[in-house]
Amino acid sequence: MEIVFKKAKFFKKLIEYSKDLIDIGCLKFNKNGISLNTMDTNNCAIITFQINLDAFSKFKVEQEYVLPVKFEYLCKIFKTCNDSDTMTIKYTNLNNKIFFIFKNNDSKKTARHQVPLLNQDNDEFDLENINKRENDSEIIIAPHVISTITKDCSSFGQNIRIETIKGEEFTSPLIKFSIDDINGNAEFIYEENEEDIQKIIINNTINCVFQSHYLVKFAKFSFIANSLTIYISNQQPIIYSYQTPIGIVKLYLSPRLEE
């Protein structure tokens, strides 16, 4: 197996942000590209991504490989890779290591790393039903906006309540992010607009609470995303679906159960 990324920086950032959720990731290489489907370290969230073939200048994969690697160590070696470097990944069945090669044509520098594979089962999750569900609400939002909203909310409390609001008294559908804390409460209410909250689709209004520190981690992926759609249904996991220059990232988090 030998693959070469057109732009290394997006894969580097994808692994960096994923590291905040998982320790070991089983990267799957096959004819469709590179994918991941795993639960976070605390068994609360699920992260999936699919890196498409158009992200590579070379993609030679003879069969499917599932390679478990430690993401923290990947981030360490990625520090030796500049955004302008080419990134080549190689693997053969002759050893238990995956090779990363970073080459810079301007400085004539090449860095080579051998990353040991780990003993880890690839327990993928069947998400077909949840992805096909009819959502109560759907929000199309500029990625940088969710980062700001989440940062503002998390500074006030550990749980973020998300509600959608519609009715004859409102000129347009609304989405509200709020935090109730022993020291007070805060609310951030948004209407549709062309730049920030681009679309609010409400089939049924929702009222759900999620752990803020997870949503903060989810929001980090906004820095490599072109667009974000959030799918929400009452008493079901929230879904963040990011479109990035190299493929799709989806994040799932179950709501907090209220007493």
Q: Label the pairing between strands 197-202 and 137-141.
A: antiparallel
Q: Do 10 and 106 fall into the same domain?
A: yes
CATH number of domain containing 200:
3.10.150.10
Q: Do 191 and 110 fall into the same domain?
A: no
For 153, phi then psi, to 5°, come to -65, -45
Q: Do 36 and 79 fall into the same domain?
A: yes
Q: Do 177 and 244 fall into the same domain?
A: yes
pLDDT recorded at residue 257: 76
Q: Label the pairing between strands 238-244 and 227-232.
A: antiparallel
Whether 259 is covered by a domain: the verdict is: no
Whether 78 is covered by a domain: the verdict is: yes
H/E element, 8: helix 8-19
pLDDT recorded at residue 105: 82
Whether 124 is covered by a domain: the verdict is: no
Structure tokens at 60: 């030679």
pLDDT recorded at residue 258: 66
Cα distance between residue 22 and residue 222, in whole Å: 18
pLDDT recorded at residue 95: 82
Q: Do 64 and 111 fall into the same domain?
A: yes
Q: Do 112 and 141 fall into the same domain?
A: no
Cα distance between residue 236 and residue 256, in whole Å: 10
Q: Do 58 and 84 fall into the same domain?
A: yes
Of the three residues 116, 142, 172, the one that is the final residue of a domain is 116
Q: Do 103 and 193 fall into the same domain?
A: no
Whether 126 is covered by a domain: the verdict is: no
Q: Do 99 and 143 fall into the same domain?
A: no
pLDDT recorded at residue 102: 96
- Predicted TM-score of the model (pTM): 0.94
Whether 122 is covered by a domain: the verdict is: no
Of the three residues 116, 146, 181, the one that is the final residue of a domain is 116
pLDDT recorded at residue 151: 92
Whether 58 is covered by a domain: the verdict is: yes
Q: Do 139 and 223 fall into the same domain?
A: yes
Whether 127 is covered by a domain: the verdict is: no
Report residues of the chain scoring pLDDT below 50.
Answer: none
Domain assignment of residue 169, given as a range: 132-253
Of the three residues 58, 91, 116, the one that is the final residue of a domain is 116
Whether 123 is covered by a domain: the verdict is: no
Could you tell me what percentage of the chain is helix, strand and coil, using 3-state DSSP and rounding each to the nearest 5? 20, 45, 35
Q: Do 109 and 139 fall into the same domain?
A: no
Q: Do 141 and 248 fall into the same domain?
A: yes
The backbone region for 218, taken as left when phi is positive above 0, alpha when psi lies in -120 to 50, beta otherwise, is alpha
Count of the separate structural domains present in the chain: 2
